[in-house]
Amino acid sequence: GEFDLQNAHGNSFVVALGFGRNPYEAGQRARASIFESFESAKIQFISEWDKWQKKLYVLGNVSKNLSPKYFNISATMLRVHESKRHPGALIASLSIPWGFNKGDDDLGGYHLVWPRDMVQIAGGLLAAKAFDDARRVLNYLMVTQEEDGHWYQNMWLDGSPYWHGVQMDQTALPVLLVDLVNREANLSEEDKKHFWPMIRRAVSYIVINGPVTPQDRWEENAGYTPFTLAVEIAALITAAEYADYNNEPQVGIFLRETADAWNSSIERWTYVTGTDLAKKVGVDGYYVRISSKESVDLEYSGMDLLTIPNRIKQENTCLANEMVSPDTLALVRFGLRAADDPRILNTIKVIDAMLKMDSSFGPVWYRYNGDGYGERIDGSPFDGTGIGRPWPLLTGERAHYEIVAGNYSYAAQLLKTMENYANEDGMMPEQVWDSEDIPELELFFGKPSGSAMPLAWAHAEYIKLCRSLKSKQIFDMPPQMKQRYLIDKLDSNIIIWTFSSRYKIIPKGKILRIHCLSSATVRWTIDDWLTVEDIVTLDSNLGIYFADLPITNLDFDQKVSFTFYWHDPETWENVNYTLSVEKDRLTQMLPVMPGQKNFKEKKQKPIIK
């Protein structure tokens, strides 16, 4: 439209901008706001924001030379990402990465709900003591959960899917959010029952489909990844408490046993030793970013070849044992491994050697070596391929590790680093430019790149870091995990076999637990079918049937074979599955830590036929 400035009274006029699902709704909103007058709208707007801000956590000075300025800015950033039409729905960013290069028909951007980002944002709101806002997120998660227990990769505000991928961490994180809300806001007994069906469906999905994830938290590769493993295991342990509270103790036992078995297998899935990279950095081993789901046997070497999305074909493959990521720090943040665990310390050396960028603003890290999500080498916008740039939120994650390690001064420096990478208005970017200045593209070293800004997840990480520094303990670390794995040092003598992870080699001294999706009798033998025993599976009440084969006395290189008689329909599997106990010379499993305890073998009477 046009304005007749000659008729403007006092050279000023009021413009009302209305939004709606169609031109009529937008026009109605604009006209209604004009009739209310600008001054009354302004007063109401400021009043409501003042009222909300006054309820927030009063941070004060976290440490010397740090002020609450960015804390308050970040809290506001999180709040404005909530939908007005769908309470509790929080989008990833109000921006569109490289939006200046997008057409109007390029839908989505970051104007979508990612359950992962939303849970992280809700955690930031909780850290700011915006309890009502976080509670709305839980309600939104309940109504958008799929019947089988998972959430879509991302979705529109009304819950309809945009991308249909499955990322197991996005099913686990909502469970952890319920418990975080409970710890911070004290859920009522009615609330704990109210959220139990959502928790139950989520962990059912996890035990049926995990621990392998079809996509990692960066939405790219399938397999075993430390971050996803950490949050899956934490979700199972957390959910077990809610199972107990809701009078399902057997479900709680099964969840804890599954979590413990997975936890004891993390190194078998993701830790490599003796590689060229290890020798180059001067360590004996390290956790890889991800191992492909086919690599499930005892002696993991990391020789599986990964395809890197977003890279040109000539540069889009890498051996798993050559790729690392700060994702490993989740093992510490969620209480699975100690900060001074030698394997963690080794991995940090490799991460810093491969992924750390130092600048006058402070250190910042890349997602993983070989990342392709970022501008192209000449600074032109990401168009499906590019070069990944550093992410300031990873500086926040590293700071959380340093708090666990007791390095509070360095953690405070990293908090300041996050502030340094914000723009002049305090907005934190997804990525920062890491090459020489290209003024014509508005790319300057250490300044925001063309990716998303603000990134709500980064602001949430900053708020949680402020709280963690203030208390000198991790704001969102589940206390159950710390108690179980770091204090009680519980281990598992169970290894789980599933149809999606068909091991050929198993550790010596373990109970072999068989998981299947329907009731069956497991017929098994340790003498090549000269004699057999039968065990009827037990119902976990979570969609998994299981049977424990007591093979702890098998010696090195001995074999166990089994098959299934399915109860419905009454038919044999007609396939035999054979596993070998590890060879003595190939034993590379890490020793049980001093003081570590094992669960007692669960007794299950076999049916001899």
Which residue has 């391929």 as its token pair?
385
In angstroms, what CA-CA distances link 367 with 352, 372, 431, 455?
Answer: 12, 10, 10, 15
**Dihedral angle sign, alpha carbons of residues 318, 320, 323, 327:** positive
Which residue has 């002020």 as its token pair?
67
Please, what is the Cα angle at 586 between 585 and 588, to 5 degrees?
115
Please, what is the Cα angle at 528 between 526 and 529, to 5 degrees?
90
> Per residue in 308-348, pLDDT tens?
889 988 888 989 899 999 999 999 999 999 999 999 999 99
Crossing angle of helices 115-127 and 169-185, rounded to 10°: 20
What is the reported pTM?
Answer: 0.92
Structure tokens at 234: 């934490």
Of 121, 106, 118, residue with least CA distance to 144: 118
Average pLDDT over residues 431-454: 97
Q: Does residue 296 have a pLDDT over 70? A: no
Q: Does residue 273 have a pLDDT over 50? A: yes
Instruction: Return d(Cα 455, Cα 123) in angstroms, integer.
Output: 15
DSSP 3-state of 31: helix
* 303 or 365, greater pLDDT: 365
Specify the amino acid at residue 465. L
Instruction: Return d(Cα 153, Cα 146) in angstroms, integer.
Output: 12
- At residue 304, φ and ψ (nearest 5 deg) are -70, 145
In angstroms, what CA-CA distances link 490 with 53, 259, 313, 352?
Answer: 43, 11, 45, 30
> Per residue in 95-113, pLDDT tens?
999 998 887 777 778 999 9
**Domains and their CATH numbers in the chain:** 5-52 (no CATH), 53-487 (1.50.10.10), 494-586 (2.60.40.10)
Instruction: Return d(Cα 211, Cα 258) in angstroms, integer.
Output: 10
DSSP 3-state of 577: strand
Query: E strand or H helix at 578, and its extent?
Result: strand 577-581
Specify the amino acid at residue 466. C
Question: What's the Rg (C-alpha) of the chain?
Answer: 26
Instruction: Return d(Cα 419, Cα 472) in angstroms, integer.
Output: 20
> Per residue in 7-64, pLDDT tens?
777 777 778 888 888 999 999 988 888 888 788 888 999 999 999 999 999 887 666 6
Bond before 326 cis per omega within 30 degrees: no
Please, what is the Cα angle at 544 between 539 and 547, to 5 degrees?
65
Task: Say if CB 417 and CB 411 are below 8 A apart.
Answer: no
Considering 6-10, 117-121, 599-603, the range whose residues carry the highest mean pLDDT is 117-121
Q: In the predicted model, what is the mean pLDDT of the chain?
A: 91
Of 514, 557, 558, residue with least CA distance to 536: 514
Contacts of 510 (CB under 8 A, 6+ apart): 493, 494, 495, 551, 552
Instruction: Return d(Cα 70, Cα 79) in angstroms, integer.
Output: 14
Three-state SS for 309-351 is CCCCHHHCEEEHHHCCCHHHHHHHHCCCCCCCCHHHHHHHHHH
Maximum C-alpha span of the chain: 102
Percent of the chain scoring above 70 in pLDDT = 93
DSSP 3-state of 64: coil
Q: How far is CA 29 from the centre of its chain?
A: 39
Structure tokens at 411: 């953690």
Structure tokens at 6: 């000659």
Please, what is the Cα angle at 400 between 399 and 406, to 5 degrees?
85
Q: Does residue 608 have a pLDDT over 50? A: no
Instruction: Return d(Cα 44, Cα 41) in angstroms, integer.
Output: 5
Kindly indicate the confidence band of residue 301, based on its pLDDT and cuts at 50, 70 and 90: low
19 DSSP 8-state letter: -
534 DSSP 8-state letter: E
Instruction: Return d(Cα 426, Cα 97) in angstroms, integer.
Output: 18
Q: Which of 309-313, 422-426, 561-565, 590-594 bottoms out in mean pLDDT, i.e. has the lowest?
A: 590-594
| Residue 474: other Cβ atoms inside 10 A | 21
Task: Say if CB 573 and CB 565 are below 8 A apart.
Answer: yes
DSSP 3-state of 194: helix
Average pLDDT over residues 142-160: 97
> Per residue in 449-461, pLDDT tens?
999 999 999 999 9
pLDDT computed for residue 588 by the predictor: 43
Kindly indicate the confidence band of residue 590, based on its pLDDT and cuts at 50, 70 and 90: very low
Instruction: Return d(Cα 199, Cα 205) in angstroms, integer.
Output: 10
Instruction: Return d(Cα 29, Cα 36) in angstroms, integer.
Output: 11
602 DSSP 8-state letter: P
Of 128, 60, 70, residue with least CA distance to 415: 70
Instruction: Return d(Cα 276, Cα 385) in angstroms, integer.
Output: 28
Q: Does residue 362 have a pLDDT over 60? A: yes
Considering 23-32, 203-212, 293-302, the range whose residues carry the highest mean pLDDT is 203-212
Which residue has 């809700």 as its token pair?
122
pLDDT computed for residue 12 by the predictor: 75
Kindly indicate the confidence band of residue 233, based on its pLDDT and cuts at 50, 70 and 90: very high
